[in-house]
Amino acid sequence: MTLKKSSITLPSMTPGSQRSISVLRFGKAGARPKVYMQAAIHANEMPGTMAMHHLMPLLSEADKKGLIQGEIILVPTVNPIGQAQLVGNSHAGRYNLLSYENFNRNWIDLSDAVAERVGKKLGADTEANVRSIRKAAQDSLKALQPLNELSTLRVEVQKLSCDADFVLDLHCDIYATLHLFGAKNDVATGTLSSLAADLGVEATMYNEPYPKALTFSGVNSALWARLAEQFPQANIPQACMSVTVEMRSQHDVSDALGQSDAQNLYRWLVRQGVVGGKAAPLKKLKAAPAPMSGMDVGYSTCTGFLVFHLKPGAKVKKGQAICDVIDPANPNGLKGRTTFKSQTDGVLFSRRFDGYLSWPGQVMYRICGPKPLPHRIGATGLDD
């Protein structure tokens, strides 16, 4: 067996307390393809952890049979800081309560550091470039001296992922259907669509040309695209497909869903040659990848409480009513409502709960549309 379990110890922030991150490795270190997969960076988003709970026995069995041909690193709960944030009998796992940072922002853009180390050496040899960039990324991270718990978490976790061929960051939304975010560079190769089809994703969106926000999946993907822009004379491929997989809703944690997701992830690993065997026929893609600029984000313009007309996964038309914000003190019935309508044809893939408080600027819903919207060009929609 090649399964190894280890832990990353984070620095203590208060006397008498210290946290660690559990890391599981399958296969041989350095083997290709390498897959890095993590869950619960937003620590109250557990569907991905449940999927890994059911995936790990499948990988252990494959490991016993000698089927793991690449390297697989799994981190089922990557954020022990957020896991510990229990406030007023509720789990507040999205923001660091010490700094108010979103745990999935401010990851490390390594492109400048890598460029300084190896930029002048990059040339026509694609494989040599990939090796040099991966080593420079690791060396750049090793040179950092993080001061606290969160910065140490970021550095140590990126050491695990920065040289991977595939990075999957498993999240979920408040109330949503299965969807994912990737980079345009992975659309042309078909790798993004293959993952979406194997997982049964309802909506796939890509950044143009690559993720700009410093999310975890974004920095792993954008490293290659940024270097390719900076050194156009060199052959620099998109050597890492890094995606954010939104595994439905926060309440969608069950053995049935976990088993299904694990089987889908395992089939994808076989299809990519990470695990030996013959993958089942690729499922039909439910919806073609769409640009992030085609994503209609419904921002509230008033205060009140929400009531929706549609559930996640519904196909909508431009001009169709999605939700109302109700002024609870308005005595005029329907006149006390403000209706918000879709600005595109597409799929309503994410929304708030009925009865949720609404305030100006709040994101109420998101719709995946096939064509860029004029007011969305250059926007990400990744509101905290």
Contacts of 156 (CB under 8 A, 6+ apart): 8, 10, 21
For residue 1, pLDDT over 80 is answered with no
Per-residue confidence band for 380, with pLDDT thresholds at 50, 70 and 90: low
For residue 384, pLDDT over 70 is answered with no
Q: What are phi and psi of 305, to 5 degrees?
A: -130, 155
Cα separation, 94 vs 215, whole angstroms = 13
Cα separation, 334 vs 375, whole angstroms = 29
Q: What is the mean pLDDT of residues 180-194?
A: 94
Residue closest to 41 by CA, chosen among 187, 136, 167: 167
CA 253 centroid distance within chain: 17
Q: Of the given ranges (182-191, 262-271, 362-371), which has the lowest mean pLDDT?
A: 182-191
For residue 383, pLDDT over 90 is answered with no
Contacts of 282 (CB under 8 A, 6+ apart): 194, 197, 198, 271
Per-residue confidence band for 2, with pLDDT thresholds at 50, 70 and 90: confident
pLDDT at site 382: 67
Q: What is the mean pLDDT of residues 246-273?
A: 98
Per-residue confidence band for 35, with pLDDT thresholds at 50, 70 and 90: very high
Percent of the chain at pLDDT > 70 equals 98
pLDDT digits (tens, 9 = 90+) for 199-228: 999 999 999 888 888 999 999 999 999 999
Q: Where do the domains of the chain lie, and which CATH numbers do they carry? A: 4-288 (3.40.630.10), 291-373 (2.40.50.100)
Q: What is the mean pLDDT of residues 23-50?
A: 97
Partners of 296 in beta bridges:
367
**DSSP per residue over 22-89, as a string?**
EEEEEE-TT-SSEEEEEE-SSTT--HHHHHHHHHHHHHHHHHHTT-B-SEEEEESS--HHHHT-EETT
pLDDT at site 154: 98
Per-residue confidence band for 20, with pLDDT thresholds at 50, 70 and 90: very high
Handedness of CA 321, 300, 376, 205 (dihedral sign): negative
Mean pLDDT for the chain overall: 96
Q: What is the mean pLDDT of residues 247-256?
A: 98
Cα separation, 313 vs 315, whole angstroms = 6
CA dihedral 47, 51, 53, 54 (to 10 degrees): 140
Q: What is the mean pLDDT of residues 20-33?
A: 97
> DSSP secondary-structure letter at 196?
H
pLDDT digits (tens, 9 = 90+) for 134-179: 999 999 999 999 999 999 999 999 999 999 999 999 999 999 999 9
Cα separation, 69 vs 204, whole angstroms = 28
Q: Of the given ranges (41-50, 182-191, 350-359), which has the lowest mean pLDDT?
A: 182-191
Cα separations in angstroms, 138 against 152, 182, 195, 238: 14, 23, 27, 17
For residue 90, pLDDT over 90 is answered with yes
